[in-house]
A and B are shown apart, each in its own frame.
Chain A
């Protein structure tokens, strides 16, 4: 069974850094892209960026380029999303998600993590 298990809820102050994780299991982690998706309550769902753990090829949505860093550790089958300086507007639920097809991100997301709530408040 494919599973994506994310790290727990986080609370930070503006300007602080943060790294959240998504551990994949039940499939070949290096052969499927992993996306990070942001959902602000009551607002749109956005794909922030996506990484291919096999070679760490990473693509970012223009809206998030330079705002976050996506990485992956093949040895632990874990993908990461990190911020160097959080803003209040980063408050959201963040999901990792896996495209259904091997080796491409032009596919629907058939597996999702449970979500990580990030709250940024002074």
Chain B
């Protein structure tokens, strides 16, 4: 099974800042990597797929990069609605998720 490891576990930032979240795969997943945002009481929402392609309706301040085993999600100019938990997911071999990064207001 491919293990996905996200860092940091929690990130405290102020609105308006830029943040970078990391995701590492235990073996190469090529570009078969997605990012999701989850708010309390809601299902995950797809933000990025194929490592860097924004899903429909996702603002341009969200961007993804990386391939192989190292990936990043960058959020420019954080808005209040961006404070949530973010998960990465690989779909190269079965489907496995990272443990999540919680983005909280500083």
Contact = CB atoms under 8 A, between A and B. Distances in A.
A113 B95 CA distance: 17
Contacts of A97: 43
Interface string A94-118: 0101011000011111101111000
A112 B49 contact: no
A97 to B, nearest CB: 8
A8 to B, nearest CB: 14
B97 A44 contact: yes
A61 B1 CA distance: 10
B96 interface: yes
Interface string B40-57: 000111100110000110
Contacts, number: 52
A112 B47 CA distance: 13
B67 interface: no
Interface residues of B, number: 22
Given A44-B99, A45-B97, A108 B43 contact: no
Contacts of B99: 44
In the A-B complex, the 3 residue pairs with the closest CB atoms: A108-B34, A112-B43, A108-B49
Given A95-B44, A109-B46, 12 more contacts: A44-B99, A45-B44, A47-B95, A61-B94, A62-B1, A97-B43, A100-B49, A106-B91, A106-B92, A107-B49, A108-B46, A108-B55
Interface of B: 1, 32, 34, 36, 43-46, 49-50, 55-56, 87, 89, 91-92, 94-97, 99-100
